[in-house]
């Protein structure tokens, strides 16, 4: 159920939401060009920590679509319910005004109902190509990353989802974006994250680190299984070099690293050791099989001190995602 909607004067010089599509006529290489970013807010400072990160990702001057979801009102709203609605509208107006002062075009709307369902509906209706969410907030946003709401968004979202783990109500959120980590598992699905990472890196001038983690499960001695495992590692190392060459060919500074250990621990350790600012990954399990909320992805999302951009599997080139009409 959609509530009131409002935008800034900047919207008059921008295409309408329905003119945007995730792929459409844009080549796959330019898929990372975010044009309309959905940002759920709940009025808390913690939820607002997503805004500096989103501002840094506004490649090409994307429009921010702010949304606040309130529980479904009773059949006969009381003065208290109407007060909550006016409070939400005033808050969103204030945020849009702040953004406008920095030259950022934004719109807002209020919606009623289930948080995850309304967030996904708003993304479809406005033709958004990124959903950006802070991990903690008030009311319906309180368990966003660690509860069912995030799982439902990640399972159903047809577009990338940017998740930021909140640092506390008074903690500043660094807006630096100089280093991007792309964890790989040897599958074509995981490599799709590199397409997005490269586009972002080119636009913001960041470097890209490719990380492949071999799980510490090895056969002993010179058995056939051990030789097969070594053969697979050699194949993976060769593929990693090919991807690193691709990064260099696109004139993006990059590094590659092949390590052995626990995938999630190595990903988080690499972030801390080398000062990564963003993780771009697909929601895959440690085995490389696609998963709605894979084991490695979940562990990284729970503990990552930097934003995580979760990229869904891309459709074939030429496939067009059109906004769903209300």
pLDDT tens sequence across 172-207: 555 688 999 999 987 888 888 999 999 999 988 999
Query: What are the helix (H) ranges across the chain?
Result: 50-56, 79-101, 115-125, 148-156, 188-204, 224-249, 263-274, 295-303
pLDDT of the residue at 257: 94
The larger pLDDT score, comparing residue 80 to residue 19, is at 80
- Mean pLDDT across the stretch 251-272? 93
- From 50-59, 94-103, 167-176, the region with the lowest mean pLDDT: 167-176
Residue 96 predicted with pLDDT over 70? yes
Is residue 201 within 8 Å of 252, Cβ to Cβ? Answer: yes
Using an 8 Å Cβ cutoff, are 282 and 312 in contact?
yes
- Is the pLDDT at 324 greater than 70, yes or no? no
> CA 191, CA 197: separation in Å to the nearest integer?
10
Q: 144 versus 13: which is more confidently predicted?
A: 144
Rg of the chain over Cα atoms, rounded to whole angstroms, equals: 21
What DSSP element (H or E) covers 181?
A: strand 179-184
Mean pLDDT, rounded, for 22-49: 67
Q: Which of 65 and 24 is assigned the larger pLDDT?
A: 65
The sheet with strand 63-70 has its strands ordered as 2-7, 106-112, 63-70, 36-40, 130-134, 161-164, 308-310, 278-281, 179-184, 207-214, 254-260
Residue pair 194/210 in contact by the 8 Å Cβ criterion: yes
pLDDT tens for 215-233 read 766 656 667 887 888 888 8
Strand 161-164, strand 308-310: pairing? antiparallel
Under DSSP, the state recorded for 297 is H
Domain 2-164, CATH:
3.40.50.620
pLDDT band for 238, please (50, 70, 90 cuts).
very high
Topology of domain 179-305 in CATH is Rossmann fold (3.40.50)
164 DSSP β-pair partners = 134
Sequential DSSP letters for 63-86: EEEEEEEEPPPPSS--HHHHHHHH
What are the boundaries of each domain within the chain?
2-164, 179-305
Indicate the burial class of 266 (C-beta count within 10 angstroms; 0-12, 13-18, 19 or more): buried
The band of 60, judged by pLDDT with boundaries at 50, 70 and 90, is low
Instruction: Examine the pLDDT at 32 and tell me if it is beyond 80.
Output: no
With tokens 């993976």, the residue in question is: 236
Q: Which pLDDT score is estimated for 7?
A: 56
Asked if 32 and 177 touch (Cβ cutoff 8 Å), the reply is no
Mean pLDDT of the chain: 77
User: In CATH terms, are 2-164 and 179-305 the same topology?
Assistant: yes
The model's pLDDT over 265-285, given as tens digits with 9 standing for 90+, comes to 999 999 999 999 999 998 764
pLDDT exceeds 60 at position 85:
yes
Q: How many CB atoms lie within 10 A of CB 202?
A: 17
- For residues 260 and 272, what is the distance between their CA atoms, to the nearest angstrom? 17
Q: Does residue 101 register a pLDDT over 90?
A: yes
pLDDT at 28 over 50: no
């Amino acid at each position: 159920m959609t509530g009131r909607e409002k935008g800034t004067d900047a919207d008059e010089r921008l295409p309408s939401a329905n003119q945007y599509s995730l792929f459409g006529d844009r080549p796959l290489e330019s898929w990372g060009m975010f044009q309309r970013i959905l940002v759920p807010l709940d009025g808390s400072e913690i939820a607002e920590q997503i805004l500096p990160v989103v501002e840094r990702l506004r490649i090409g001057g994307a429009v921010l679509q702010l949304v606040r979801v309130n529980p479904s009102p009773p059949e006969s709203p009381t003065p208290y319910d109407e007060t909550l609605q006016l409070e939400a509208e005033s808050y969103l107006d204030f945020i849009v005004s702040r953004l406008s002062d920095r030259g950022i075009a934004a719109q807002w709307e209020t919606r009623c109902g289930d948080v995850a369902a309304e967030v996904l509906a708003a993304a479809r209706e406005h033709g958004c190509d990124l959903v950006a969410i802070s991990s903690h907030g008030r009311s319906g946003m309180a368990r966003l990353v660690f509860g069912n709401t995030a799982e439902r968004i990640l399972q159903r979202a047809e577009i990338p989802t940017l998740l930021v783990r909140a640092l506390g109500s008074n903690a500043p959120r660094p807006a630096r974006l100089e280093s991007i980590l792309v964890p790989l598992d040897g599958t074509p699905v995981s490599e799709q994250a590199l397409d997005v990472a490269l586009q972002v890196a080119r636009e913001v001038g960041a470097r890209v680190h490719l990380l492949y983690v071999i799980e510490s499960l090895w056969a002993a001695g010179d058995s056939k299984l051990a030789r097969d495992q070594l053969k697979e590692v050699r194949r993976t190392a060769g593929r990693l070099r090919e991807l690193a060459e691709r990064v260099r060919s696109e004139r993006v500074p990059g590094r590659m690293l092949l390590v052995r250990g626990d995938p999630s621990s190595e990903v988080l350790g690499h972030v801390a050791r080398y000062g990564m600012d963003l993780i771009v990954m697909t929601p895959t399990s440690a085995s490389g099989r696609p998963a709605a909320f894979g084991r490695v992805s979940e562990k990284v999302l729970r503990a990552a001190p930097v934003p995580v951009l979760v990229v869904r599997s891309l459709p074939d080139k030429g496939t067009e995602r059109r906004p769903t009409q209300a």
